[in-house]
Amino acid sequence: MRRFVPLIVTLLLAGCSLFANTPQPAPAPTAQAQEITRAQTGGLTRLGSISVQERGSPDDAQRAIEAKANEAGANYYVVQLVSETVIPGVWYATAVLYATANGGAQP
């Protein structure tokens, strides 16, 4: 049993590296809010969270998130969840909004 402890620890540590993200820069801001990954949020200012509930498809929920992010004046957003509710055909989505350090979109 003592022989397997180092092996198990090594495998667990190796597995943790699968969840580590290397920080990456966000793309240049545009007039429209852009979806980014969590690894691209470094150096950005968090504006808050939004949620939507849309009838249709997951794409409809994603479009509603993008529209709401544009209304809020965000440069970027990270989708956290897109899930069908208990009502078939109704989708719920949440996202976190971010802005550049200067806080505004640059065309």
- The CATH class, in words, for 23-99 is alpha beta
For residues 64 and 59, give the distance between their C-alpha atoms in angstroms, rounded to a whole number. 9
Identify the three-state secondary structure at position 37: coil
The arithmetic mean of pLDDT across residues 9-17, rounded, is 70
Where does the pLDDT of residue 107 fall: very low under 50, low under 70, confident under 90, or very high at 90 and above? very low
SS3 track for 84-95 = ECCCCCEEEEEE
For residues 93 and 58, give the distance between their C-alpha atoms in angstroms, rounded to a whole number. 8
Q: What are the residue boundaries of the structural domains of the chain, listed by start?
A: 23-99
**Cα 85–chain centre separation:** 20
pLDDT in tens, 26-69: 999 999 999 999 999 999 999 999 999 999 999 999 999 999 99
Q: What is the pLDDT of residue 9?
A: 76
pTM of the model: 0.76
